[in-house]
Chain A
Amino acid sequence: TQLLEQSPQFLSIQEGENLTVYCNSSSVFSSLQWYRQEPGEGPVLLVTVVTGGEVKKLKRLTFQFGDARKDSSLHITAAQPGDTGLYLCAGLPDYNFNKFYFGSGTKLNVKP
């Protein structure tokens, strides 16, 4: 089992719809990050959240870090085909500040 569990694993929606991706763990994290990866490329950092309850917005993307720092969510408003990609959460568990773990990813397809 992975330290970070993401859901759903796959998501296929129409342009203009809203969606939420979840990242959960039984461990406490000192920080969580979200990345987006396109085919044939490495992941690209979208955001870092470090404080429990923190909410960050990046245009149509809203990121939230859970109060207990065990979970995070990514909400996309009015999805566009350009949002298509693999979304990965990643973070540092409190018990080891040097090991950076990734979730299994959510593959998003936004149809025009």
Chain B
Amino acid sequence: NAGVTQTPKFQVLKTGQSMTLQCAQDMNHEYMSWYRQDPGMGLRLIHYSVGAGITDQGEVPNGYNVSRSTTEDFPLRLLSAAPSQTSVYFCASSPDNNYGYTFGSGTRLTVV
């Protein structure tokens, strides 16, 4: 049972480039979320989904897009990378928000 799988683990981008962070879960969870973690800021919610075909914005959605075409996959797209998007990105899934989330191991992104 793989849980939540994030790829890649590390990425360096140049300002203005676009890329997609991949997230897949094999637990048939309805809820999936993307967070970014910056020093001293805890985790901030970027986008979330409550099921296939349904997504919504979190606290810091600007510069990011998501889609949820299947229950398993929830990719995060950076449209035009900026240095302010340098961060560690975590994907998480849950069968129900009240049951707690299972996290992936993160993607460390640096934008130069």
Contacts and interface: CB of A to CB of B under 8 A. Distances in A.
Interface stretch (B11-19, B77-85, B97-105): B97-105
B100 A48 contact: yes
B105 A92 contact: no
Given A41-B106, A102-B35, A50 B98 contact: yes
A98 B43 contact: no
7 contacts: A2-B41, A44-B103, A48-B98, A90-B101, A92-B98, A100-B45, A102-B35
A86 B35 CA distance: 16
Given A42-B104, A42-B105, A100 B41 contact: no
Given A6-B42, A88-B43, A92-B97, 7 more contacts: A41-B106, A42-B90, A48-B99, A90-B101, A99-B58, A104-B41, A105-B42
Interface residues of A, number: 27
Interface of B: 4, 31, 33, 35, 40-45, 48, 50, 56, 58-59, 90, 92, 97-106
Contacts, number: 65
Most buried by B among A42, A48, A99, A102: A42
A100 B56 CA distance: 12
Contacts of B59: 99, 101
Given A42-B92, A42-B106, A44-B103, A100 B44 contact: no
Interface in A80-106: 88, 90, 92, 97-105
A interface: dominant SS: loop
